[in-house]
Chains A and B, each alone.
Chain A
Amino acid sequence: MNTAIILALASCSMALVAALAPLFLRQPVAQRTGLSLLLAASGLLAMIAGICGLILGGDALILPLGLPWMPMHVRLDALGSFFCLVIGSLLLPVAIYSQGYLRDETRLTSLAIFMPLFVLGMLGVVLSDDAFTFMLFWELMSVSSYFLVTFKHENLENRKAGFIYLLMAHMAGLLILGSFAVLYAAAGSFEFSAMRDATISPFWASAAFLLAGFGFGTKAGVVPLHGWLPEAHPVAPSNVSALMSGIMLKVAIFGFIRVCWDLMGTGDFQWWWGALVLAAGSSSAITGVLMALQQHDLKRLLAYHSIENIGIILIGLGLSMLLAHFGHPMLAALGLVAALYHTINHALFKGLLFMGAGAVLHSTGTRDMESMGGLIHRMPWTAALFLVACLSISALPPFNGFVSEWLTFQTALMAPQMGGALLTAIVPFSAAMLALAGALAATCFVKVFGVVFLGHARSEVAASAHEVDNWMKVGMAIPAVFCLLLGLLPVLFIPLVDRVPQLLLHASLADSIHAHGWLWLTPIDVAHSSYSAPIVLIGMLVLGGLAFWLLHPKGRTIRRSVMWSCGNPHVNARMQYNATSFSQPLRRIFAGIYRPEEELRIERSRHKLLADSVHYAVHVGDMAVQYLYQPIGKLTLYVAKLLQHEHQRGIHAYLAYTFITILFLLAVYI
């Protein structure tokens, strides 16, 4: 037993203790402090376990738990360690943040039980080394997060979102179970080590890939399986949304990598797997960001951005699959590193964004961006930290989002010819889609920051907002610092990530990464491409400082005056661009995709040229919900109605049903 796995198990037990703590702690204050403290400890331990596991290597262990003939197998390998690190690095700040965020909450018990269970589920999935343990913790994660989504169950909206979430999570669980069943049939054992060694025919490999892809894809929110995501994330408490969006979606990515790369292996890859993942990634990235642009509920907007970023991760994974299939392990390793780097980046900045949204919600009591504005004056810390996350998610240097998107671009551009011309042309096309998604994300975050934090307050609640307490500030500051560090020093971090392709692809980027020192990021070699974030930042600081020092008049303050209003003295806050008007050009350009339902009503009672009041409303629905989910739902209801009268038979009929079922099962299995 080595240090890493002991630390990881300690992290799990800390989460378990936190889940049991409400049995002894009854006061909300005690519950809140216990929850924050124990989860922070669990997060810190997970982080250290992840780093230790990546540096020292992990170990496997059999725990005397579970069914008598099937003890739990746990193992911390490079892949598990990396995701342990992802979980820990967001769990720690979120736990600190919760201490402040839950201050006004009086009924904490359900949150204090299910949030640690949720964390335990995620850690367990990452550590598991047999299909049974994996599914057990997976379901623990899904079910406990259902109770977190419906934490405020007195609202109808929350119960509805919770139902959709539970339904889709179980559908996903069923598909994943199917995938493990296929692998079990080949290996004859639930243990992952047996599944790794087993050979599997191409047909069954594809079946397992598709089942795992759709199962984990549903959980990760890949378009069009994303229906639950924009419903569930906004209604959950913000610290939970941060965990769900930041880590839970990543655990689904982990599961996908585990099943495809590890249990089946790169030898089983077929060319269309990579192409399918690449297509799913590109379409998720574009659909996610386009839908996000039309939202004016802050947390719903962020939820759609999670779909976009999962798409970006899948683009990296898809490229890696294609390159591995066509025999370029080095480039496949680069694609995998790019995807994993984006995984941890997204966990950090999306966690920060949800925490920032929570701070705004805490302070104003609303998620509606149309009634915000000018918060930068009343919440300066939140605004500055939120801006860091906006810059990171928009892939702007010198922050971390840019590094991972840059690596993904490099993978796409360095890809040599593969298969036919069409397949080869798909690769740069997906790079162009990535560029479009990145640029649209920047547009969206100008809108978010501009409408929420800049300008004038659009309502009374925004005008009387207040800054959040120090716990929440610290909780947000930690991921902000990580965002900057991961953006500035990728060369120091990539060798850690590199352990994963070493394990899965037997290829390493270590030589090319280390070739030019910590200052230069050179994924292949210096003639191909290079990027140095520290020099960019230092250069900008020197040049900007010099310009400021030269130009700024010493000892004089800037003259302040009223804003320029075309000579009209009556300017009010409603004249500003808001979230709906900001995205109007895009609504018009992409009208074919959005199909907006617009309503314009002008009342003219005095004269036909004098408008008394103008009323404008626009609604953009989710196409997937409209054309995929609703027909399926209607069909289900229709079939249920057809079968309705069968339910009302007497006891004889039910006995007959049971008899027929038993006969059927006997016929199939014997």
Chain B
Amino acid sequence: MSSASVQIIQAVMLLLFAPLAAGFISTCKARLQNRRGAGVLQPWRNLRKLFKKEVVMAHHASWVFRFTPYIVFTATLMAASVVPALLVDTPLSLTADVIALVALLALARFFLALAGMDIGTAFGGMGASREMTFSALAEPAMLMSIFVLSLSAHSTNLTTMITHTLNSPFALHPSLAFAMVAMVMIAVAENGRIPIDNPTTHLELTMIHEAMILEYSGRHLALLEWAAMVKLLLFSTLIVDLFMPWGMTAQADLTGVAIALGLWMVKVAGLLFVLAVFETSMAKLRLFEVPEYLSGAFVISFLGLLSYYMLEVGA
């Protein structure tokens, strides 16, 4: 197997498994709430249904509204194909480092917010305003937590950062613990999960992501929903990559990739299960408590940075 083929397998895998991951979370939540649930495949069925349906657009929707689903989908997919999941050194991982990865997701969000404002409903503007506000607070926290790892690896390339973690002896670094807590908090916020936003609600006055895509229908909506699922899986993979990359393969041989695939699925499933438990046991935050949550994440990641300088640099 060449590394290019593993790269393609990886990207297609993230794309195809993303609805399954979403289905997995909702099934876990259903079981935790003593329900049977609709099954792991339900998001796939929803997508198929949406792809078949006709698109209806408002009279004065501009080309921004029409092209946004494609831009959001491709930017998210591009970001997903940059993140190594199985092989440490994939050809595309050099294309964009972590900072560029965050920027690609920001590009998707920028257009999503614009599309929310294009129709001119109060809901769209509300969603756009809130999404951009909260992500503006989340982004520095996310970069800070990544910087903690970048500083010890002397790199912002994901491949180099993963290799650094794999090659250094296992030790409990306080800075990494802080960074991971912050990163998980940000991942929850960025993906619009409880306690920040509830992905299963429509027409709540506190909704964020749903408010922006309220006007979309048919294949446009399917692309946006799919992109959101890919983003969730992308963040899970990123957390796995940065904080527990053990098991990822350096060579593109069949056994190595198979083992890496198995371990990746176990690790991601574990993360998603934890998310389901949290979502079941927690209520949504009030809207104006979200900034406190996000600044909490920022402070935690900054503590990680300080503890890196004070405790670990000399050692």
Q: Which residues of A contact B (CB under 8 A)?
A: 373-374, 376-377, 387, 391, 394-397, 402, 406, 409-410, 413-414, 417, 421, 424-425, 428-429, 431-433, 435-436, 438-440, 442-443, 445-447, 449-451, 454-456, 520, 526-532, 535-536, 539-540, 543-544, 547-548, 551, 558-566, 571, 573, 575-578, 581-586, 588-589
Contact = CB atoms under 8 A, between A and B. Distances in A.
A544 B61 CA distance: 20
Contact of A394 (B104, B110, B125, B140): B110
B231 to A, nearest CB: 15
B74 A540 contact: yes
B310 A564 contact: no
B229 interface: no
A588 B288 contact: yes
A417 B313 CA distance: 9
Interface in B28-76: 51, 54-64, 66, 70-71, 73-75
B154 A435 contact: no
Interface in B130-145: 130, 132-133, 135-140, 143-144
B59 A561 contact: yes
Contacts of A435: 139-140, 143-144
A536 B96 contact: yes
Contacts of B219: 551
Nearest to A527: B160
Given A560-B59, A564-B214, A395 B74 contact: no
Contact of A446 (B132, B298, B306): B132
Contact of A543 (B58, B77, B117, B310): B77
A536 B100 contact: yes
Residue with the greatest number of chain A CB neighbours at <10 A, chosen from B104, B107, B309: B107
B305 interface: yes
A436 B136 contact: yes
9 contacts: A417-B313, A433-B140, A442-B106, A536-B96, A539-B81, A561-B58, A577-B129, A586-B133, A589-B288
Given A547-B73, A551-B51, A577-B126, A454 B118 contact: yes
B129 A576 contact: no
Interface string B121-165: 110111011101101111110011001001100111100100000
A396 B129 contact: no
B62 A376 contact: yes
B154 A531 contact: no
B94 interface: yes
Interface in B272-315: 287-288, 291, 298, 302, 305-306, 309-310, 313
Given A414-B154, A435-B139, A575-B122, A526 B129 contact: no
Given A424-B309, A449-B114, A454 B120 contact: yes
Contacts of A436: 136-137, 139-140
Nearest to A384: B63
Contacts of B184: none
B120 A573 contact: yes
B136 A439 contact: yes
Nearest to A444: B132
Nearest to A532: B95
Contact of B56 (A526, A561, A586): A561
B78 interface: yes
A410 B99 CA distance: 9
B181 interface: no
Nearest to B150: A413
B120 A563 contact: yes
Contacts of A446: 110, 113-114, 117, 128, 132
A547 B94 CA distance: 24
B304 to A, nearest CB: 11
A559 B54 contact: yes
Contacts of B155: 527-529
Contacts, number: 244
Nearest to B301: A432
B166 interface: no
A355 B294 CA distance: 37
B314 to A, nearest CB: 10
Contact of A561 (B57, B110, B120, B156): B57
A539 B313 CA distance: 39
Contacts of B188: none
Nearest to A446: B113
Kindly list the 7 A-B residue pairs having the minimum CB-CB distance in the complex, ordered from nearest.
A577-B125, A450-B117, A455-B120, A563-B58, A439-B136, A443-B132, A439-B139
B223 interface: yes
A585 B60 contact: no
Contacts of A577: 117, 122, 124-126, 128-129
Contacts of B54: 559
B245 to A, nearest CB: 17
B244 interface: no
A413 B73 contact: no
Nearest to A421: B309
Contacts of B240: none
A394 B104 CA distance: 12
Contacts of A563: 58-59, 119-121, 215
Given A436-B139, A581-B125, 10 more contacts: A432-B143, A433-B140, A440-B136, A455-B119, A456-B60, A544-B71, A576-B120, A577-B128, A588-B288, A589-B137
A450 B104 contact: no
B239 interface: no
A548 B70 CA distance: 7
Residue with the greatest number of chain A CB neighbours at <10 A, chosen from B55, B60, B103, B110: B103
B97 interface: yes
Contact of A450 (B73, B121, B128): B128
A462 to B, nearest CB: 12
Nearest to B58: A563
B144 A428 contact: yes
Given A563-B121, A585-B130, A531 B100 contact: yes
A428 B203 CA distance: 41
Contacts of A397: 96, 100, 103-104, 107
A532 B96 contact: yes
A413 B156 contact: yes
Contact of B78 (A451, A527, A539): A539
B64 A454 contact: yes
Contacts of A433: 140
A563 to B, nearest CB: 4
B73 A544 contact: yes
A423 B122 CA distance: 47
A300 B132 CA distance: 21
A409 B132 contact: no
Contacts of A530: 94-95, 97, 157
Residue with the greatest number of chain A CB neighbours at <10 A, chosen from B122, B126, B132, B143: B132
Residue with the greatest number of chain A CB neighbours at <10 A, chosen from B155, B219, B288: B155
Nearest to A544: B74
Contacts of A451: 117
Nearest to B113: A446
A247 B59 CA distance: 42
B78 A536 contact: yes
Contacts of A531: 95-97, 100
Residue with the greatest number of chain A CB neighbours at <10 A, chosen from B57, B60, B81, B92: B60
A455 B118 contact: yes
Residue with the greatest number of chain B CB neighbours at <10 A, chosen from A429, A443, A578, A582: A443
A425 B128 contact: no
B145 to A, nearest CB: 10
Contacts of A417: 313
B62 A454 contact: yes
A232 B71 CA distance: 38
B71 A526 contact: no
A531 B95 CA distance: 5
B121 A564 contact: yes
A432 B142 CA distance: 9
B120 A439 contact: no
